[in-house]
Amino acid sequence: MPATRSVPEPSPTGRVGYDGGVAIVTVNVLGSPYDVHVEPGILASAGAILLAGSSSTRVAVLTDQIVGPLHGPALAASLRAAGFEPILATLPPGEANKSLTALLPVYDAFLSAKIERSTPVLALGGGIVCDMAGFVAATLLRGVPFIPIPTTLLAMVDASVGGKTGVNHGVGKNLIGAFHQPTAVLADPAVLRTLPPAELSGGLAECIKHDLIRDADGFANLERTLPEILAGDVGALAELVAHNVRIKAAVVAADPFEHGERAHLNFGHTFGHAVERVSDYAVGHGPAVAVGMVAAAALAVDLGMLDGGSRDRLVTLIGRAGLPTGGLSLDADAVVRAMGYDKKVSDGRLRLVLPDRIGHVVVRDDVPAARVAAAVRRITA
Ligand SMILES: NC(=O)c1ccc[n+]([C@@H]2O[C@H](COP(=O)([O-])OP(=O)(O)OC[C@H]3O[C@@H](n4cnc5c(N)ncnc54)[C@H](O)[C@@H]3O)[C@@H](O)[C@H]2O)c1
Ligand SMILES: [Zn+2]
């Protein structure tokens, strides 16, 4: 739906083509491809981009109380300049508010403003806002266009690619939801400059994961460019986002419903989810995935699949990204038990995504529990 620009070709090194900070990555899913626009300052062009594809004069915008004041005015000005009337709803931030209850006033706001089937829902925020706005878009009037404008690194490289939307339930995270593909994604790397460093590091955990599972050259590039990324260099951030969207898009397009290789994206997550749960979510997702990747790499070395040098490169990069590599004050046995309840358990066997070199992983369902326990003890104090 938005105006299209030329799409830079991926270079042979696996890095996405990159032209002055602008990249468009097409996500080919289920016959409804959409473009992820990665461009510093694109927030201020959102109205004009929308105008090219929308027949509605109104747009519904969902944000949160932290991102709204920071970046809402620029988005609203851009929408108004293009002749749109924004209908704004603001959520309290935080995972505890990622619930159906928190969405009720949002439905009230959008429905009482008489939105139509053609009215797009925009998400301005991190993964929580994107997941919730996507669910609203999937369910309002049985489905309206959805345009995420992700504002965290994690939301840009992970949550806004793949079409998973939803909210949490008391029984567990993300248990109520729907697949609803965006019409387009507008990723503005410049907004990452207001992101707290810990949130940037959390997103970097997924970026490290992407290169570790798919792209050895990308991994080496990240080792080189990490200082600029951590310093908030917008060009480096734009390149990082485009590169990672391309990896996630390729994996998702090959396996939209998680029957096969999309499981590779779970690298570090089987350990990580258990760490999140056992810590009662005191360890956040990014740090949990970070130690999860350390544990998975240790296990791979233990099984003779991975060389120690590659493991050391991974652990070093994780640490340099501001993420933990071990020393958790958690009961290792409790973490192992929690892994048994992970949703990645198939036919009673624990399926683990393990690296056999940087840039490549395999799925193993034959790892003895004792070896898994030993790997967990590497990341607990
Ligand atoms: N749909 C998917 O495929 C998918 C994939 C991964 C994660 N997720 C979901 O994403 C959520 C986590 O997303 P997240 O890590 O972005 O967390 P988040 O949405 O909670 O954002 C982190 C914090 O940063 C603030 N923030 C966001 N952008 C900011 C900015 N530019 N400047 C300053 N502050 C900013 C937010 O208000 C929030 O307090 C989880 O609920 C997870 O389930 C979904
Ligand atoms: Zn993750």
Site residues for ligand 1, CB cut-off 6 Å: 64, 66-67, 70, 93, 95, 98, 125-129, 131, 151-152, 154-155, 158-159, 162, 164, 173-174, 191, 194-195, 199, 202
- Taking the CA atoms of 374, 379, 380 and 381 in sequence, report the sign of the dihedral they define: positive
Q: Distance of CA 353 to CAs 99, 192, 210, 260, 361, Å? A: 30, 30, 13, 12, 6
> Which has the closest alpha carbon to 153: 19, 322, 277?
322
State whether residue 257 is helix, strand or coil.
coil
* Amino acid letter for position 290: A
pLDDT for 54 beyond 90: no
For the stretch 90-147, pLDDT in tens is 999 999 999 999 999 999 999 999 999 999 999 999 999 999 999 999 999 999 999 9
- Give 15's pLDDT tier (boundaries 50, 70, 90): very low
Which protein residue's CA is at the shortest distance from atom 3 of ligand 1?
159
The span from the CA of 43 to the CA of 25, in Å, is 17
- Give 343's pLDDT tier (boundaries 50, 70, 90): very low
Mean pLDDT of 150-159: 97
pLDDT for 37 beyond 90: yes
Mean pLDDT of 73-95: 96
pLDDT for 257 beyond 90: no
DSSP 29-95: -TT--EEEEE-TTGGGGHHHHHHTT---SEEEEEEETTHHHHHHHHHHHHHHHTT-EEEEEEEPPSG
pLDDT at 152: 98
Count other C-beta atoms under 10 Å from residue 38's C-beta: 30
Mean pLDDT of 360-381: 94
pLDDT at 20: 58
Please provide the average confidence, as pLDDT, over all residues in the chain.
Answer: 91
For the stretch 201-235, pLDDT in tens is 999 999 999 999 999 999 999 999 999 999 999 99
pLDDT for 5 beyond 80: no
Q: DSSP alpha helices (H): ranges in the chain? A: 46-51, 67-81, 100-112, 127-139, 153-154, 197-214, 216-230, 234-254, 269-278, 285-302, 308-320, 332-340, 369-377
Q: Distance of CA 188 to CAs 36, 98, 173, 215, 238, Å? A: 10, 24, 27, 24, 8
* Amino acid letter for position 23: A
Query: Buried b / exposed e across 184-214, counting CB within 10 Å, b at 16+?
Result: bbbbbbbbbeebeeebbbbbbbbbbbbbbbb
Weakest mean pLDDT among 9-18, 34-43, 297-306, 344-353? 9-18
pLDDT at 19: 52
- Give 12's pLDDT tier (boundaries 50, 70, 90): very low
pLDDT at 11: 36
- Kindly give the number of the ligand 1 atom that is closest to the alpha carbon of 131: 1
pLDDT at 348: 58
* Joined tokens for residue 27: 């996500």
| d(CA 367, ligand 2 centre) in Å | 22
pLDDT for 342 beyond 60: no
pLDDT for 17 beyond 50: no
The span from the CA of 275 to the CA of 328, in Å, is 9
pLDDT at 16: 41
pLDDT for 193 beyond 60: yes
* Catalytic residue positions, numbered: 142, 164, 206, 248, 258, 262, 266, 269, 273, 285
pLDDT at 258: 75
> Which has the closest alpha carbon to 205: 262, 253, 272?
272
Residue of 325 and 160 predicted with greater confidence:
325
pLDDT at 345: 53
* Joined tokens for residue 161: 């690619």
| d(CA 267, ligand 2 centre) in Å | 9
